[in-house]
A and B are shown apart, each in its own frame.
Chain A
Amino acid sequence: MAETDLILETKDVVKRFGGLTAVDKLSFSLEKGRIYSIIGPNGAGKTTFFNTLSGLSRPEEGEIRFEGRRIDGLRPERVMKLHMARTFQNIRLFGGMTVVENIMVGAYTRLRQNAVQTVLRTRAFKAEEKRAEARAEELMKYVGLEGIGNELAGSLPYGAQRRVEIARALASEPRLLLLDEPTAGMNPAETEEATGLVRRLRDELGITILLIEHDMRVVMSISERISVMDYGEKIAEGKPEEIASNPKVIEAYLGRRAAAASGGAQSARYSDAEESL
């Protein structure tokens, strides 16, 4: 495979917190235009791995390459500038700001205005603000939210907040989007809609998607490739059907005995097991 087809590549990434190795020599590569999932039990190090990718924490060892460029150790704003964006597991919107403002914050790295232009309200400044606002509106429409631009983000229902968070990430014009449990806490209907949205981001906007997800139905239905993490290590990688029948994966989720008993368990049951873990 040609190197240019890889949008993201990590090599032996290690992240430790004191004595705990949260991410242990993780290597994986992600092709452009794919939907890729990372799954694993709670505490497996998935979110920590996302943090190292998006620059929120610096890995102790290893290399991260985004579009061929080393990004490990870069600050988040630099990573964002390179067109990588993320959402958070426990929604982190700016609750006291309006929905439009939230989305406009997402466009921070794409706006060129400076302090002098701001104070003088130059024509370029006004034009850019207008464009940013129009773009925010467009994005709201795209994620299926209309007419709530002036509401405070914190006052929105849960499902809408998730979508605002995705719109905010989209405002930064990402080529790679990291979604941390985009359907957590949603009911089946909302989950269905969110899954559809993720698929549209890839199909219509050509954004490569890397997601962490617990809901196995979601994972199995939209991912083209899956990595399984356990205790910071990648224990398996492959297509959804390969993962579903991988004994190591079943062991990680259900324990050794369950794995022996069930063999190739049905994927849908993982999500139930997940809750009991």
Chain B
Amino acid sequence: MKGKTGASRSSKGSRALGSFGALLNKGAIPYIVSAALLILGTILVYLSPRSIPAFLLFLGAGALTYFLDMNRAVKLVAAVVVAVIIVPILGARNISYLEIIFQIAVFSALALGLNIVVGFSGILNFGYMAFYAVGAYLWGFFGSQQPYLLHAIPGTVPAGTPFFLAPDWFYLFLFAGIIVAAIVGLLLGLPVLRVRGDYLAIITLGFGEVVRQLLNNLDKPINLTNGPQGITPIQRPTMPNGLLALFNRLFEPLVGTPVTANQFYNIMFYLIAAIFVVLVIIVTHRFEDSKIGRAWAAIREDELAATAMGIPANRLKLEAFAVGASFAGAMGVLIAASRTFISPDSFSFLQSVSILTMVILGGIGSIPGVMIGAAVVILLNQQVLQSFSLFLAQLRQSDAVIPILNLHWKNLSNQLDPSKYQRLVFGIILIVMMIYRPMGILPATRRRRELKGDEARDEPQGPEDGADTNEADHG
């Protein structure tokens, strides 16, 4: 028998890893394995900050640590050490990795938000990026000079225009983003009261486009969004006093060079995103295992039966929209500040689709699954495909020949550039997934409760169970 408190988590882990996982999960093995991999990954990334395999090993070690059977406190400590110390140090040595981890964090939060709508309550939403855009433009507008440029010609900034708010309003706007996006979520949710299924999916698709077109065109009659050119510069919050100095005093020997303020901003935004992801995970998890979460699942399974059980389906769907949207709103505010530039292009339909891809690829309805989905999609997009393209480009410049085909790399078409075929690659991955693993990389599992009656299951089947199984064919 497994330990009482860890039972639900550990069984999930071993299931995900299959029989190999069972081997890994014996006694002290998981501690040794994950510590060894984490340290190895860290050292490799530290020594060769540009090596992609090393970086993937490092991320994989982190993910593996989550899934192995270990004391929760140990995992927690490991997570904090990795997130707060190791990642910033490694990130300072190669800022592009920090950027990728930052994006994984942001998109995890987005995917978790979409997962509430799509995964928990079963409503397909193609316009999720709209909420992200709402958050981004909220801070983009108030955190820049834009409020003073309402009557200026789009794209021009009269000299000496001040910023509208002090930069530290950013922190307040993180929460404002939650509220405003939730309200917009409710607005989008209103059609839910009238249509369902495919029709609703089409409406959400339309909504996403409407928001994007509004952002594109609201530079006239008064210039709210600065049109397709986007808003820039957007303020970042001021750096807390002495934090950079402290970081440099502690870690400069490890990083090698003193970290500049600009680099440290990246670390700071990464940390804010990480904190947010933790909050989002907690909130999502708590919702999942509550009356509201059960009602969402019931609506997803059978709306009519849910209604007959006394669940006000419309209200709960609106709540799902609002909660999901609120995560995106906060992330939007964060991304506006970290990029200091936003334009309508960042919130396209394809972006909504790629978040949906993360959810489906990772495992619809499953919290760790969705995060893995986010990591896989980002890594494929930003790292694997691009470096593969780079690799092909290098080969093209060499004199190498493809064996068997007897084709010179030089003659390989320039069109064959994997980073241009992101969508194709994702399409193929999704098709393969739908055939062989339709529930995603890490399928959602219902929480196993520690019921008194369940102890009877551990013993051989009782006579009562036997009687029931005879009738299995009836349904």
Contact = CB atoms under 8 A, between A and B. Distances in A.
Nearest to A151: B457
B297 interface: yes
Contacts of B451: 100, 133, 137, 147, 149-150
A76 B449 contact: no
A118 B286 contact: yes
Contacts of A168: 309
A115 B295 CA distance: 12
A104 interface: yes
B308 interface: yes
A95 interface: yes
Contact of A94 (B298, B323, B457): B298
Interface centre among B294, B306, B456, B465 (most CB of A within 10 A): B294
B290 A113 contact: yes
B287 A118 contact: yes
B32 interface: no
Nearest to B291: A111
B319 interface: yes
A146 B471 contact: no
A234 interface: no
Interface in B455-470: 455-457, 462, 464-465, 467-470
Given A56-B304, A118-B287, A101 B446 contact: yes
B79 to A, nearest CB: 20
A105 B309 contact: yes
Contact of A147 (B283, B308, B312, B455): B455
A218 interface: no
B308 A86 contact: yes
Interface residues of B, number: 47
A222 to B, nearest CB: 21
A121 B447 CA distance: 17
Contacts of B470: 157
B449 A133 contact: yes
A11 interface: no
B290 A88 contact: no
A105 B306 contact: yes
Contacts of A161: 475
A277 interface: no
B286 A101 contact: no
A172 B468 contact: no
B287 A105 contact: no
A92 B305 contact: yes
B474 A185 contact: yes
A21 B294 CA distance: 37
A56 B309 contact: no
B298 A97 contact: yes
Given A54-B308, A108-B309, A190-B471, A144 B464 contact: yes
A29 interface: no
Contact of B291 (A77, A94, A108): A108
Interface string A108-132: 1101010100110100010001001
B310 interface: yes
B277 to A, nearest CB: 16
Contacts of B310: 76-77, 79-81, 108-109, 172
B194 interface: no
Contacts of B301: 94-97
Nearest to B300: A96
B304 A118 contact: no
Nearest to A161: B475
A75 interface: yes
B389 to A, nearest CB: 41
A158 B474 contact: yes
A48 to B, nearest CB: 14
B2 interface: no
Contacts of A133: 449, 451
B308 A104 contact: no
B446 A56 contact: no
A125 B309 contact: no
A146 B311 contact: no
A187 B468 CA distance: 11
Interface string B444-455: 001111011111
A147 B379 CA distance: 43
A254 interface: no
Interface string A192-236: 000000000000000000000000000000000000000000000
Interface centre among B289, B292, B451 (most CB of A within 10 A): B451
B312 A77 contact: yes
B405 interface: no
A133 B453 CA distance: 12
B217 to A, nearest CB: 36
B452 A88 contact: no
B458 to A, nearest CB: 9
Contacts of A137: 451-453
Contact of A104 (B294, B448, B453, B474): B294
B312 A75 contact: yes
B302 interface: yes
A7 interface: no
Contacts of A88: 305, 308
Contact of B456 (A86, A147, A158): A147
B472 interface: yes
B161 interface: no
A159 B471 contact: yes
A172 B291 CA distance: 13
A5 B24 CA distance: 66
B449 A98 contact: yes
Contact of B290 (A81, A118, A187): A118
B298 A105 contact: yes
A188 to B, nearest CB: 12
Contacts of A157: 468-472, 474-475
Contacts of B302: 92-95
23 contacts: A56-B307, A75-B312, A77-B310, A94-B297, A94-B306, A97-B297, A101-B446, A105-B297, A108-B295, A108-B309, A113-B292, A115-B287, A121-B286, A133-B451, A137-B452, A140-B453, A147-B455, A147-B456, A149-B453, A149-B454, A150-B449, A150-B451, A186-B471
Interface of A: 54, 56, 75-77, 79-81, 86, 88, 91-98, 100-101, 104-106, 108-109, 111, 113, 115, 118-119, 121, 125, 129, 132-133, 137, 140-141, 144, 146-150, 152, 156-161, 168, 172, 185-187, 189-190
Given A108-B309, A121-B286, 20 more contacts: A54-B308, A76-B310, A88-B308, A92-B305, A96-B446, A97-B446, A98-B449, A100-B451, A105-B295, A105-B297, A105-B306, A105-B311, A113-B290, A113-B291, A119-B287, A133-B451, A137-B452, A160-B468, A185-B474, A189-B467
Lowest 7 CB-CB distances: which A-B pairs, in order? A80-B310, A92-B305, A158-B474, A94-B301, A147-B456, A109-B310, A146-B453
